[in-house]
Amino acid sequence: MSPYLSDETWETVVRSVPLVSVDLVVHYDGGVILGKRTNEPAKGEWFVPGGTVRKHESLEDAVQRVANEELGVGVTIERRLGVYEHVYDVADIEDAGGKHYVPIGFEVRAESDSLDPDDQHADLQVFEPPFEIDLHPYVRQYLEDAGVMEN
């Protein structure tokens, strides 16, 4: 569901085209922030914060909006990690045939000492290398590309 599109329009978009998004490797308190997702795709997985880019929104503005909405913090962008492709078999929309994202990954640093998570995450935690949890392959790729995890 999208806060700026009707449910019907959002469902049409998800069923029809890849979604452009930003995903954030957020450095915080000696580690990186991962959230336990409450919605599909990747429900129940520890994942980096991220969200779709809105029309006429710069990537940098999208990064700040996502960090503020999902974590309650501003961030300093350290670098763009690259463009990725994420394809999921499941979606948060019935009969959508999965979800297809074209995320742009960013490495960022949180500008606050306190987090205020939204309802997209059951929990937020700071994880430090060597990351002794099962990581989704897409998260593993981000952490490797950010140089905080060896491949």
Domains of the chain plus CATH, in order, are 7-145 (3.90.79.10)
Instruction: Write the CA distances from 72 to 14, 89, 120, integer angstroms.
Output: 26, 30, 12
Determine if the peptide bond prior to 130 is cis (ω within 30°): yes
Q: Report the pLDDT value the prediction gives residue 119, as an integer from 0 to 100.
A: 82
E runs forming strands in the chain: 19-28, 31-37, 46-47, 50-52, 75-83, 86-88, 99-110, 121-127
CA angle 141–14–9, rounded 5-degree value: 145
Give the pLDDT of the chain (151 residues) as one tens digit per residue: 556 789 999 999 999 999 999 999 999 999 999 999 999 999 999 999 999 999 999 999 999 999 999 999 999 999 999 999 999 999 988 888 999 999 999 999 999 888 887 888 889 999 999 998 999 999 999 999 999 988 7
